[in-house]
A = this chain, B = another copy of it.
Amino acid sequence: MKKFTPEHLASAARNAAAPLSLFRQVLTSVQEGIYLDSWSLDQDTFPLNTQAAWSVKKYRLHGGKQEGVEVIEVDNGRLRFTVVPTRGMSVLKVTSGDVRLGWDSPVKEVVHPQFINLESRGGLGWLEGFNEWMVRCGLEWSGHPGSDRFCTPRGDEVRRDLTLHGRIGNVPASHVEVVIEPGSTPRIHIRGRVEERMFHGPKLSLWTDISTELGSDSVRFDDAITNGDVHEQEFQILYHVNFGPPLLEAGSLFFGAIQRVESFNPHSARSAMDYRNYAGPQAGFVEQVYCLHPLAGADGRTECMLQNAQGDRGVSLAFPVAQFPYVTLWKNLAAPAEGYVTGIEPGTGFPYTRQDERKSGRVPKLAPNETRSFSLDVSIHPDRQGVQAASRRIQTIQGPLQPVIDPAPL
């Protein structure tokens, strides 16, 4: 599978006249002054080498707290997903056949950042917009709210009250484009650039790329974070990937190639031995969080899976362990009205406060102009064969090693 970097895209785009060249449509560019309020493309208007009835549609939502939110719907002919440029290129949901990746949050609207105050509720304002299948947490910080004391590049020691899961999920994208790779296996990319920049502060750019091969049952993230500063810059990123029904139900099971399982807190520790198993919804369920240290296969990659109770539907996340050395497993098996949901969250760390993460050596830094890539493959398994194949791949990575389940909290 050819790696498709921003640089490649850029160079290919420059050669747009070449045969089998990339198609590229910029929907938003603050630099070039481009902005399309609505836009669409499909197999009829732009025939590709496929039988798939694919389409891409961009439009705006209105009313309530979603007034003005931009969304992009992609249908690859089999699988559909919705990207939200206004909310940091989050992905609202994915559907394919009878499988839905996503969950039923008490938050029923795609909330525009204009209505979010991250500082409110003691730094928990982020929760007022939280309903996506996949929302990135970061970039300057991620994790639980709390006070942090740190040194700025200019040598000032400052104290800041950090808010839950950072800001990137509530920053509208400065650049949005659709890129289509034609050829024998056409692929649609939705790409966006989201910035965390300020004077006397971070200069972090996130290039997001979610793509899907026409007719396939999977999507791929190929993201890159760049430090535009002349100083080293701490950063954190965590992919908060969330699943409710139908994949989550009583009897669902988590699979992962795992070296070690730690508990986020004493409450979680009490159920640590049972961390892979899911119960049905229970009103007032107190969330359990496990800190997983994944194992890599020979190619450096690992895979996790959530399967339903019957074992005939599932979803896999596959990624390089060097990029995502930590996976947080979040179980919020509450009543449907509260949000019955589990998160499988690959990241550069765990969701403790940045202060605590720094002490544990889990806050990476980017050198000036350094870029770090983050890629994540998500595949839906629509049947027992697919689920079993994923299970075997995970077992192969796991090998004979038994995961250590540490009953004591981290």
Contacts and interface: CB of A to CB of B under 8 A. Distances in A.
Interface of A: 28-31, 33-35, 61-68, 105-109, 113-115, 117-122, 124, 127-128, 130-131, 153-155, 158-161, 171-176, 195, 197-201, 203, 228-231, 283-286, 335, 337-339
A66 B199 CA distance: 16
Given A173-B64, A174-B63, A200 B124 contact: yes
- Number of copies of chain A assembled together: 3
Contact of A198 (B67, B128, B161): B128
Contacts of A171: 64-65, 115
Of A68, A155, A201, A339, most buried by chain B (CB within 10 Å of CB) is A201
A34 B67 CA distance: 12
Given A64-B173, A119-B120, A154-B285, 11 more contacts: A28-B63, A29-B63, A31-B108, A34-B63, A106-B203, A106-B228, A117-B117, A122-B160, A155-B286, A203-B337, A231-B284
Contacts of A130: 198-199
Contacts of A284: 153-155, 230-231
A153 B198 CA distance: 37
A114 B117 contact: no
Contact of A286 (B114, B154, B335): B154
Given A199-B127, A286-B154, A230 B160 contact: no
Nearest to A158: B122
Nearest to A339: B199
Contact of A113 (B115, B199, B228): B115
Nearest to A173: B64
7 contacts: A35-B62, A64-B172, A107-B199, A108-B197, A113-B114, A127-B201, A203-B337
A358 B43 CA distance: 61
A345 to B, nearest CB: 15
Contacts of A153: 284, 338
Contacts of A200: 124, 127
Contacts of A65: 171-172, 174, 195
Nearest to A116: B117
Contacts of A61: 30, 33
Contacts of A105: 199
B228 A337 contact: yes
B121 A118 contact: no
A280 B365 CA distance: 27
Given A155-B284, A201-B121, A284-B155, A174 B28 contact: no
A107 B283 contact: no
A108 B231 contact: no
